[in-house]
Amino acid sequence: MRHEGSIIQICLALALVLNILFWLSVRDVKSRWSNVPPPPNIKYASIYGLGDASFAYRLNGIMMQNLGDTGGRVTPLKDYNYETLGRWFYLQDSLDPVSNFTPYLAAYYFSNVQKPEMLPPLLDYLSDIGNRPYGEKWRWLAQGVFLARYQLKDLDRALEMANALANTKNDNVPVWVHQMPAFVLSARGEKEAAYAILLEILKSRGEKLHPNEVNATKAYICTRILGKEDAAVNPLCESL
Amino acid sequence: MSLPLVKYVLMAAFRDRLILSMLVIILLGSLLSIFLGSAAIIEKDQFTLVFTAAGLRIISVLGLVLFVIFFVRRSFEARDIEFLLSRPISRLNIIFSYGTAFSLLAILMGLAVGVAVYSVAPHLLGAGHALWILSIIVENIIMVNIALFFSMYISSSAAASLITLGFYVLARMMGQLLGIIDSDLVNSSGIYSAALQIVSVITPRLDLMGQTSWLIYGVSGDITAWHILAQGFVFPALVLLAASFDFTRRQF
């Protein structure tokens, strides 16, 4: 009996030593992040929420928000695979097309990537979401215009999105939504086209606009589009 | 149905601290969901609501199924069933009394989960909540009766629990599986598709129940209270009668 007890004690000590050795060997080993994982097929995506699409959307949402930044690890956005990330955005859209969580992540978090040339998949997504007629989805197009113009510096893409924004089906949008193509055209140097758009807005909607909006539009025309000589002879600029 | 037997099962649930432990788990689950939801950068309340609802839905089924199976198996092993059979009570009465008592527990648990879901985001209360809670109650009723059925047939508690929970997962995903065989991706006339079609006939469509999107956006689509109540009637009836079929022929 005593002999058995001694054997157990020795074995226990040995097991403890083995545990310590194992701990020493794996202490600094950490799971490696293998970049953005491929998204599941859209057709089966709700299986991840056991058939509940909204639950799957929220689980994926938290995962995407913390992607690459778990376990004390921080990954710069430029190291993410934005093509795969773009497919996750569309997967999320298929699970919940109404929520603004994923568009928000795309427009305000993932858009801060250090290499703006990685933005096109994200802009494609914002462009598609922004064209939805319900809610205030047009705001994602506006954010897309900003990203294309100031981050990506692709004025063609910005103009394409600005035109889509101006044609939004929502009646309750501010006037700058319709003026957006003019702003981008002005940045492209197409001053005459920008002038024509803004003038048309003043003619067709001027009476419905708040005086401040009218004055702001006139000021933009007279200071940003027209040169000093042209502004001096333009009757629109007289009242400024 | 025997009222004393129903009371006996309900008392056993209280004695086993099922109610107390489930309430504690519901509270902890809600707190964990609030924590997870607050980590989201926007729509925090929607995240909390969805995590609470989806999490407690699974927890309540898990707790009820384990209680039912271990209670029934213990009744056999402790010879409670044989004692009951020696009394002037029919075998059918025993099954239906057990089914009624477990269903009452399922209703109680569904209501407790409903209160928790309401409490984490009361300002999001809408018509969808009523249908969601109704569907969770019906889902719980279906699952306790399925658990009763498997525990009557299978003598091992662990095996009965695993089979019942496997059946639950299958029932939750049945809509997706039927969608796959209806798509062009697989041969819909093949043997596997045919087998799945047959299995789907005797599997409840729990994917039509408890959609958390109802809690946020309200009820939309083709699912109505009628679909939920109809399932709540046909499947418990099927499994209770199937359990009775075996039980009435068994020799003790």
ipTM here:
0.86
Q: How far away is chain B from the Cα of A42, in angstroms, using its nearest Cα?
A: 11
**A45 shares contact with chain B (CB less than 8 Å):** no
Indicate the pTM of the whole model. Answer: 0.87
pLDDT at A44 over 90: no
- Residue A1's pLDDT is 64
pLDDT tens digits, residue range A59-76? Answer: 999 999 999 888 788 899
pLDDT at A240 over 70: no
- Domain segments of chain A as ranges: 38-164, 174-240
Instruction: Please report how many Cα atoms fall inside a 13 Å half-sphere around the Cα of residue B111, on the Cβ side.
Output: 7
Please judge whether A101 and B43 are an interchain contact, meaning their C-beta atoms are less than 8 angstroms apart. Answer: yes
pLDDT tens digits, residue range A88-114? Answer: 999 999 999 999 999 999 999 999 999
Structure tokens at A106: 């795309």
Interfacial A residues in 107-126 facing B (CB < 8 Å) = 109
pLDDT tens digits, residue range B219-232? Answer: 877 788 898 999 99
- Residue B1's pLDDT is 78
pLDDT at A239 over 80: no
pLDDT tens digits, residue range A113-153? Answer: 999 999 999 999 999 999 998 889 999 999 999 999 999 99
Amino acid at B129: H
Low-confidence ranges of chain B (pLDDT < 70): 252
Q: Which residues of B touch A (CB under 8 A)?
A: 36, 39-43, 46-47, 50-51, 53-54, 58, 169, 172-176, 179-180, 183, 185, 206-207, 210-213, 216-217
| Owning domain of residue B138 | 3-249
pLDDT at A24 over 70: yes
pLDDT tens digits, residue range A160-204? Answer: 999 999 998 887 888 899 999 999 999 999 988 999 999 888 888
- Residue B181's pLDDT is 84
- Residue B238's pLDDT is 93
Determine the residue of chain B that is closest to A45 in CA distance: B176
- Residues of chain A with Cβ-Cβ distance to B217 below 8 Å are 98
- Residue A34's pLDDT is 85
**A55 shares contact with chain B (CB less than 8 Å):** yes
